[in-house]
Structure 1
Amino acid sequence: MAVQRSASADKIIVDRTNARRSSEVARAVRRTRDRLAEQVGSPAFERELLKLHAHAMINTVVAMPLLVILIAAAGLTAGMNIELLIWAPLTMLGYAALALVARRVERLGSGDLDAARWSRRLLMAHAVSGIGWIYFVWIACDACGLEPFSVVKAVILLLAIAVTAIIASALQGALVATFALPVIVFAASGTGLSRPVDLLMVFLLIASLPFFTYVAGHFNRSAVMLLAFRSEKDALIAELETAKSMSDEARRRAEEANLAKSRFLASMSHELRTPLNAILGFSEVMATEVLGPLENKTYRGYAQDIHDSGTHLLDLINEILDLSRIEAGRYQLNEEAVALASIVEDCCHLMELRTSNKAIRIVQQFERDLPRLYGDERALRQICLNLLSNAVKFTPSGGEIQVRVGWTAGGGQYLSIRDNGPGIPADEIPVVLSAFGQGSIAIKSAEQGTGLGLPIVRGLVEIHGGTFELRSRLREGTEVIATFPASRVMEALAPLPTAAMGGRRY
C-alpha cells in the first residue's frame, strides 16, 4: 500500500500526505468552483446588488437631507413658515429610516441575507421616504410671490427624482416606490388648473418617471456587469491561488528531491571511488605485469579492458558530481590570473593523439597580446577539453577544427571551437544542452558519450559570469562560443622602473 501511495503522489503534484497543504488547495479549488458557478440573476448576485445599493445609500446619506435643508432655507427666505417646519423634519425622518434599513443590510453576512425579504423592506423604506414628497406637493404659498408656484415644486420634484435615480439605481423599483405617489398626487392636484404651464409640468413629471426609471435601469445593468467582472476577477485570483499552491508544493518536492540527489551523490562518490581506485590500481599492475609476466595474453587484454572501463566509470562519476555541484550552486572557483590562449593551446596539444588517428587538422587562431583572465584554470581547461572532445568525436576523418581565442565587442574574451561535422538539427539543440541529452546523430555515432559535457561547459561558463552559445547547421558543422565578461579581463601591469629596484638588473 505504501508503494501505491507514493506512485500516486508522483503522478499528482499535490502531496496528499500533507494534510495542511491539501486542505488549502481543496479550499482554493472549492472557492474557484463556487465563483465560476455564479451567474447573473443568481441569488449570490442579488445579494451583492442589495449590498451595493445599501452601500450607496449609506455613502450618500447626507445628499437628500442636504437638498431638503436647502429647499427649506429657500422657502423660509421666500416667506413660507409652518409648512416647511413640518415638511423638512418629516422628509429627513423618512430618509433616516431608509438609512437604518440600508445599514442593517450592509452589516448582514452574505449567507444570512435573504435577498427577496430585504428587497421588500428596502422598497418599503423608499416608499416611506416618499411620504415627505407627497406632503411637499400639497404645500401652497400664496405669500411667496412666485408665479406659478407649481412650476417651482415640479422642478424641485424633478431634481429629487434625478438624484434618486442615480443613487438608488442598484435596486430595481426604488425610484417608482419613492416617487410614484408624489407624481400622482401632483398630477391630481394640477388637473383642475387651466394654465398651460401647469399642464406642461404635470406632463413632464409623468414622463420623467419612466424616463429616469429607464436611466436607472441602465445604471443597474452597469452595476450587474461590474459585479460579473468582479466575480470573474475573484475566480481568476482563486485559480491563481490554486496554481500557486500546487506550484509551491511542486517546488518543495523538487527541492527535496534535489537535496536527496545531492546527498546521494555525496555519499556514493566516496563509496564508488574507493573500490574504483583498487580496481584501477590492480588492473594497471596486471596489465603492465609489474609483479611478473602473465603467460596468457588474453588475461593481459582483460586487465587492460578492466582498467579502461574503470577509468571511464571514474570520469563519469566526476562529471556527475561536477554537474550536481554546478546545479546546486556549490561549485567553488579557485580563481587566479590565467592566460586563456595558453590554456587552449595546451588543450589542443593534449588532443593531438586523437586528431592524428582521424587525420583531423586543428587550426588555431589566437589574437596576440591578450591580457590575463581572472578565472579558475581547472574549470577553463575542462571547458576547452570538453568542447574539443566533442568536436573531434563528430568531425569526420580528414576534417578540420577551428579554434579561436580573442576579444569580444564588449571588451571581454571568447573561445570559439568550430567543426565541419554533420551538425545538429535545430529542434535537438535544447536536447543536447540538457543533462544526459543526446541528439539523433550522437545516438547513431559509434562514440557515444554521457551527454554531460555541454551542460557542464555551460554551467562553468555561467559561473564565470559569461555566456554560452551553440550554433549548428545540418551538413555544415557546429560552432560553440564561450564568452567571458570584461570584468574578468585583467589590465596589464606596467613594468617597475629600474630605480625602484635599486638599480639592479635581473
Structure 2
Amino acid sequence: MSELTAQMVQRGRGPTAEEAARRRQRARDVRSARERLTSSIGLERAFDYELLRTFAQYRVGALLPLVLLALCIGAASVFWSPVLWSALWCGGVILATGVGTALSRGFLRQEPEAVSLPAARRRAVAGEVLRSVAWAMLVLVLVSVDAANARAFVLFVLVIVAAVTTMLAATVPLAALAGLLPLTLATLCLLVETRAMESVLLILMAVGAQLFFLVLSRHLFASTVAALQSRAEKDAIFGELEQAKANSDEARRRAEEANLAKSRFLATMSHELRTPLNAILGFSEVMKNEVFGPHAAPSYQEYSTDIHDSGLHLLNLINEILDLSRIEAGRYELKEEAVALAYVVEECRHMMALRARAKNQTFREMVDPSLPRLWADERAMRQVVLNILSNAIKFTPPGGEITIKVGWTSSGGQYVSIRDTGPGIPEDEIPTVMSSFGRGSLAIKTAEQGSGLGLPIVKGLVDLHGGGFQLKSRPREGTEVIVTFPATRVMDALPAVEMAGEDKPPGRSVRAA
C-alpha cells in the first residue's frame, strides 16, 4: 500500500497560497498575451482604447487654441499675400481642425465595447493628415513672395505646427508620423525657391527640429504606456484585494457559523455527558466508601476508586473545554468584585500544599501584604492561580522548589509570579504549549500528562481582565509564569470621611470601613 505523503494531504485540502498566486499570475500572462496578439500595436486592447481616448481628448481640448493660432497666422500672412488667399487658407485650416475634432468627439461618445479600434485609429490618422495638409498649404500662399522674412515666417509656422502636432498625437505614433510628414515635405519644398546657403541651413535646421519633435513624441508615448501599465497593475491589485476581502468575509461567516455550531454542540454534549457522569461519580463514591457494607472482594474497592478518579478527571476535562469555548466565543461573563490578590494566592497555595508535600516540594513565598484589593472576578483569578500552581507542582521533580511572588508592577498594577525548578520548555515549543491541547516534549517525558488546556484558559481569563501573560522558560532551568493586572483594576484607598459632631485628633483621620 502506498504511503500517504504530505503532498497528497495538501492536494486533498486544495492549492496552497503560493500555488494559487502562481495560477493567477499565469492566467494574467495568458490573457495579456492573447490581447497583444489581437492588438495592432502590440499592446492590450484596454491600452489601445485608452491611448486613442487620450488622443481624442487632447484634440477636443486643443480646438480653441488651434483656431486662435490659425487666425493669428492668417492675419500675419496678410503682410505678404492677398487677403483673399490668406482668408481661404485660414478657413481651410479651421475647417480641417473642426472635422478632426468632430471625429474625436464621435469617438468619445461611443461605448468602449462598441468601438472598432482599427477603424478609430484610421480615422485619427486621416484627421491628422488632413490638418497637416491644411497647415502646409501656407507654403503655397507665400511661395510667390520673394521676401526673405516671408520664408522665415513660413519656417517658424511649420516648426510650431510640427511641435503642436507631434505633442497632441503622441499617444498614437502612426498619427503623429502621418501628421508630421506633410509639414516636413512642405519645409523641404522651400529648397526649390532658394539658393542661399544661409536659407538652406535654416531649412535643414527646421527639418531637424521637426524630426526631434517626432523622437520626443515617441518618448511621450512610452511614458504614457508606462503610466497605463502602472495603473492597470494597481487596478489588478485592488481587484485582488477586493476578492481577498470577499473571500475573507465568506471565511469569517463560515467560521462564525462553525463556532456557533460548536457552541451548541458543546452545550448539548455537556448536558448529555454530565447527567450519566454524576450518577457514575455518586455510585462509585458510595462503593468506594463502602456505605452499604464491605465488599466481598478487596479488589472491588480499588476498582471503584479508579472509577471515581476517572470520572472526576473526565468532569474536570469537560469543564475546561467549556470554559475555553466560552472564552474563545467571548461569552465568558466576569462577576467582578473587590478581591485581595495576596489572599487568593495564599488560599490556592494552601489547597495545593498536600500535593506538593507528597512530592517533597517546598514553597518560597514573597508576598507584599500591603497590596490593595483588585476589581476582578474572584473565581477566574482563583482558576488562574490554581492552574499555574498545578502545572508547577506537576512538572517540578521531587524535592524541588516553587517560588511565589506577589507585588506591584512598575506601572502601578499588581502581578503574580510562579517559578518552578522543572525541566523547562524549549523556546520553539512555547507557541505549542500556549495552543489548545498543546504540551511540551520535555514535560510529557518527565511528568504526568494533562489536557493541554490550562495555559490557554489562563491567558484567556487574564486577557478578559485586560492584564498580561508572560511565559519564560529554558530547558533544565525551570519555568516562570508572570500574570499582571493593570493599574485600572487596582482599588485606591477610600478618601477620609469627616464624622459630624466628633473631634478629630490632629494628624489623624477616620476612614470608611
TM-score (normalizing by structure 2): 0.86
Q: Which residue of 2 aligns with 1:394?
A: 395
**Deviation digits for residues 1-43 of structure 1 (CA, Å, limit 9, x no counterpart):** xxxxxx99993599xxxxxxxxxxx9xx989935763159542
Q: Which residue of 2 aligns with 1:33?
A: 27
Q: Which residue of 1 aligns with 2:101?
A: 99
Cα separation, 2, equivalents of 1:500 and 1:247: 69
| Conserved? CA contact 1:336–1:376, under 8 Å | yes
**Deviation digits for residues 144-174 of structure 1 (CA, Å, limit 9, x no counterpart):** x985122122112212211222221111122
Cα separation, 2, equivalents of 1:500 and 1:316: 60
Q: Which residue of 2 aligns with 1:382?
A: 383
Q: Structure 1 241/495 Cα, relative in aligned 2: closer, same or farther at 3 Å?
A: closer
Q: Which residue of 2 aligns with 1:73?
A: 72
Shift of 1:479: 0.7
| Conserved? CA contact 1:54–1:103, under 8 Å | no
Q: Structure 1 283/495 Cα, relative in aligned 2: closer, same or farther at 3 Å?
A: farther
**Deviation digits for residues 304-352 of structure 1 (CA, Å, limit 9, x no counterpart):** 1111111111111100000000000000000001100110011011111
Shift of 1:141: 9.7
Cα separation, 2, equivalents of 1:248 and 1:9: 24
Q: Structure 1 10/245 Cα, relative in aligned 2: closer, same or farther at 3 Å?
A: farther
Q: Which residue of 2 aligns with 1:53?
A: 52
What amino acid is aligned across from residue 251 of structure 1 in structure 2? R
Shift of 1:285: 1.3
What amino acid is aligned across from residue 311 of structure 2 in structure 1? G
Cα separation, 1, equivalents of 2:369 and 2:90: 99
Q: Are 2:123 and 1:124 aligned?
A: no
Q: Which residue of 2 aligns with 1:479?
A: 480
Q: Which residue of 2 aligns with 1:212?
A: 213
- Aligned with residue 138 of structure 1, among 125, 135, 140: 140
Q: Are 2:334 and 1:340 aligned?
A: no
Q: Are 2:293 and 1:292 aligned?
A: yes
What amino acid is aligned across from residue 260 of structure 1 in structure 2? A
**Deviation digits for residues 196-223 of structure 1 (CA, Å, limit 9, x no counterpart):** 4432332123222322211111111222
Q: Structure 1 335/10 Cα, relative in aligned 2: closer, same or farther at 3 Å?
A: farther
| Conserved? CA contact 1:418–1:477, under 8 Å | yes
What amino acid is aligned across from residue 76 of structure 1 in structure 2? A
What amino acid is aligned across from residue 33 of structure 1 in structure 2? A
| Conserved? CA contact 2:339–2:376, under 8 Å | yes
| Conserved? CA contact 1:137–1:182, under 8 Å | no
What amino acid is aligned across from residue 300 of structure 2 in structure 1? Y
Instruction: Provide the identity percentage.
Output: 45
**Deviation digits for residues 235-289 of structure 1 (CA, Å, limit 9, x no counterpart):** 3333334433333332222222111111101111111111111111111111112
Q: Which residue of 2 aligns with 1:444?
A: 445
Q: Structure 1 408/105 Cα, relative in aligned 2: closer, same or farther at 3 Å?
A: same
Shift of 1:394: 0.7
Cα separation, 1, equivalents of 2:369 and 2:30: 69
Cα separation, 2, equivalents of 1:141 and 1:500: 122
What amino acid is aligned across from residue 390 of structure 2 in structure 1? S
| Conserved? CA contact 2:364–2:402, under 8 Å | yes
SS in structure 2 at match of 1:291:
coil
Q: Are 2:173 and 1:179 aligned?
A: no
Q: Which residue of 1 aligns with 2:489?
A: 488
Q: Which residue of 1 aligns with 2:87?
A: 85
SS in structure 1 at match of 2:44:
helix
Q: Structure 1 500/170 Cα, relative in aligned 2: closer, same or farther at 3 Å?
A: farther
Cα separation, 2, equivalents of 1:389 and 1:337: 25
What amino acid is aligned across from residue 433 of structure 1 in structure 2? M
Give 1:89-488 correspondences, 5 Å limit. Answer: 89-140=91-142, 148-488=149-489
What amino acid is aligned across from residue 172 of structure 2 in structure 1? L
Cα separation, 1, equivalents of 2:344 and 2:227: 68
Q: Structure 1 252/9 Cα, relative in aligned 2: closer, same or farther at 3 Å?
A: farther
Cα separation, 2, equivalents of 1:270 and 1:146: 112
Cα separation, 1, equivalents of 2:493 and 2:14: 58
**Deviation digits for residues 104-146 of structure 1 (CA, Å, limit 9, x no counterpart):** 4344455544433332221111111112212222223999x98
Cα separation, 1, equivalents of 2:98 and 2:302: 106
Cα separation, 2, equivalents of 1:398 and 1:137: 112
Cα separation, 2, equivalents of 1:264 and 1:333: 23
| Conserved? CA contact 1:360–1:400, under 8 Å | yes
| Conserved? CA contact 1:123–1:177, under 8 Å | yes
Cα separation, 2, equivalents of 1:497 and 1:294: 70
SS in structure 2 at match of 1:423:
coil
Shift of 1:434: 0.5
Q: Structure 1 479/271 Cα, relative in aligned 2: closer, same or farther at 3 Å?
A: same
Unpaired stretches in structure 1, ≥5 consecutive residues: 1-6, 15-25
SS in structure 1 at match of 2:47:
helix
| Conserved? CA contact 2:320–2:453, under 8 Å | yes
Q: Which residue of 2 aligns with 1:17?
A: none
- CA RMSD for the aligned pairs? 3.1
| Conserved? CA contact 1:467–1:482, under 8 Å | yes
Q: Structure 1 147/202 Cα, relative in aligned 2: closer, same or farther at 3 Å?
A: closer
Moved more, 312-321 or 226-235: 226-235
Cα separation, 2, equivalents of 1:62 and 1:383: 74
SS in structure 1 at match of 2:364:
strand
Shift of 1:409: 1.0
Query: How many pairs does the alignment contain?
Result: 486
Cα separation, 1, equivalents of 2:414 and 2:147: 95
| Conserved? CA contact 1:53–1:169, under 8 Å | no
Unpaired stretches in structure 2, ≥5 consecutive residues: 1-8, 505-509
What amino acid is aligned across from residue 54 of structure 2 in structure 1? H
